Chain A
Amino acid sequence: MDEVRQAFAQALALLVERDARLLEIIGLSLEVSLSAVLIAALIGLPLGALLALQRFPGRKVAIVALNVMMGLPPVVVGLVVYLLVSRAGPLGVLGLLFTPAAMIAAQVVLVVPIVASLARQVIESLWEEYRETFRSLAVPPVMALAALLWDARFALVTALLAGFGRAIAEVGAVMIVGGNIDHVTRVMTTAIALEVSKGNLSLALALGLVLIGLSLAINIAAYGAKELGEARRGG
């Protein structure tokens, strides 16, 4: 219990002092994971909409594949991305290994299935509800898609938050493709892993608490925005 109490004190101290290294690590964590979520949204939302609205051969296979990929161990994703961007790999010439870009790429792979799967479910059930009315009103397809995405926006933001949660909390993939290089690719989770391996358990726990606080703050902000939006526009 002593360690836990110590960790809380340390976490508080780190935040109060606005420790420069901690801020750097938090900044990089946010940069990498928010970028990954943004890119995953650009891929996953249209993909989810496609799976929700179009019937084509292989659709069911794609849906099952996405569901399976939601549970992919980050280490495996990290390994695959490593093999791709390693100098010996097909994308080696780009020199992406051990850069934030490689970490973003790995997290995109982790987040896309979550965003696409959840978006498909959300859009499909909304389409179920709207389909007859839209056909009756003769709504053009592009306008229908835009209306579905807009009306599902709060649920879709929740999907993006779930993706962000996976990205910010995973350690396996960013450790392998980022290398946990100080000042370059060290993020919250790899810093925690390092402190654990140094035996600095209370510092590791303190960093973990900061990470939880960070996730909490982002979720509260998103939830607040959602509440505000729903109050203004109606659910």
Chain B
Amino acid sequence: MSGVGDILPLELAGVSLTRGGKRVLKDLDLTLSAEPSRTLIIGPNGAGKSLLLKVAHGLVTPERGTVRWHGAGAGAARRAQAMVFQRPTLLRRSARANLAFALRARGVGGAERERRIDEILNRTGLARLAHAPARALSFGEQQRLALARALVLRPAVLFLDEPTANLDPAAGHLVEELINRACGEGIKVVMTCHDLNQVRRLADEVIFLHRGRIKERAPAEQFFAGPENDLARAFLAGEPLWWRRRSIYDGIEEG
């Protein structure tokens, strides 16, 4: 079983990434400590939030820069992480079989597998739907199942890419509860989010990303009290960033 200390800290150094001829991550440095916490990555559309998660998770290899896990168990880093995507991709089989599949991929079998599945089904409130075809579930249930599939692996780090973006408030609330509980059990949570109210509720720490760069990183309280970066301030105030982009951008770019 993996604890947080096993693979963390994670260090991204000088990470650059191009998509469709555009640089989407620019010489980015980021270190995530071993401390169990909820780090929320925010920023306008196209800031590179999802790609940053995928680079950290190892799904996308950056063109330049390195992604390194520094913990003692770094050799098995792949197997100590899990990710929940914006849109759940579930296999064409029952909810329970989806969970079993993920555990089988990790080599967890027998009674241990059944016990973990039962436990996570109960925790996520999906026990009633265990034998329903996963793809026949409602969108909220599907996203909860995707989260259950990630949690059942007992990862050290859990990446979440706007997990509640398409959910109604009740379903979103359920997911938030599960995230909080996971963090309470020692899982490092790294999550992107568009909903500032949700960020206020969840975040221990906020990273503000804009056009492929980290503009500000601060403890949540401090960030919401007043961000230092004026783009972040504008973002919090709900002002559109695109019209200010040029004037401010130039100054910052030079500096």
Chain A contacts to B: CB under 8 angstroms: 129-130, 132-133, 135-140, 143, 147, 150-151, 232-235
Give the distance to chain B from A108, nearest Cβ to Cβ, in Å: 29
Q: What is the 8 Å Cβ interface bit string for chain B, positions 76-100, against chain A (1 contact, 0 not)?
A: 0011011101000101111000000
Residue of A nearest to B133 (CB): A234
Asked whether, in the complex, the Cβ of B89 is within 8 Å of the Cβ of A233, the reply is: no
CA distance A233 to B81 in the complex (A): 29
Q: What is the 8 Å Cβ interface bit string for chain B, positions 206-232, against chain A (1 contact, 0 not)?
A: 000000000000000000000000000
Chain B contacts to A: CB under 8 angstroms: 57-59, 78-79, 81-83, 85, 89, 91-94, 101-102, 104-106, 132-136, 149, 153
Asked whether, in the complex, the Cβ of A135 is within 8 Å of the Cβ of B59, the reply is: yes
Asked whether, in the complex, the Cβ of B92 is within 8 Å of the Cβ of A143, the reply is: no
- Contacts across chains A and B counted by CB atoms under 8 Å: 55
CA distance A119 to B59 in the complex (A): 26
B contact patch SS: mixed
Give the distance to chain A from B241, nearest Cβ to Cβ, in Å: 29
Q: Given A136-B83, A138-B105, verify A235-B78 contact (CB < 8 Å).
A: no
CA distance A184 to B81 in the complex (A): 63
CA distance A151 to B101 in the complex (A): 12
Give the distance to chain A from B47, nearest Cβ to Cβ, in Å: 20
Asked whether, in the complex, the Cβ of B78 is within 8 Å of the Cβ of A234, the reply is: no
Query: Which of B78, B94, B132, B134 is in CB contact (< 8 Å) with A138?
Result: B78
Asked whether, in the complex, the Cβ of B89 is within 8 Å of the Cβ of A235, the reply is: no
Query: Which of A136, A138, A140, A151 is in CB contact (< 8 Å) with B91?
Result: A151
CA distance A143 to B58 in the complex (A): 20
Instruction: Kindly name the residue among A136, A138, A139, A150 whose own CB sees the greatest number of chain B CB atoms within 10 A.
Output: A136
Q: Can you give 9 A-B contacts (C-beta < 8 A)? A: A132-B89, A133-B85, A136-B85, A138-B78, A138-B106, A140-B105, A147-B101, A234-B136, A235-B92
Residues of A within 8 A of B59 (CB): 132, 135-136
Query: Which of B79, B81, B85 is in CB contact (< 8 Å) with A132?
Result: B85
Residues of A within 8 A of B106 (CB): 137-138
Instruction: Kindly name the residue among A130, A138, A139, A147 whose own CB sees the greatest number of chain B CB atoms within 10 A.
Output: A138
Residue of B nearest to A232 (CB): B133
Residues of A within 8 A of B135 (CB): 234-235
Closest 8 pairs (CB-CB, A-B): A234-B133, A133-B89, A151-B92, A139-B105, A234-B136, A136-B83, A234-B135, A137-B105
Q: Given A132-B85, A233-B94, verify A143-B104 contact (CB < 8 Å).
A: yes
CA distance A144 to B73 in the complex (A): 25
Residues of B within 8 A of A232 (CB): 133
CA distance A138 to B57 in the complex (A): 11
Asked whether, in the complex, the Cβ of B134 is within 8 Å of the Cβ of A234, the reply is: yes
CA distance A143 to B106 in the complex (A): 11
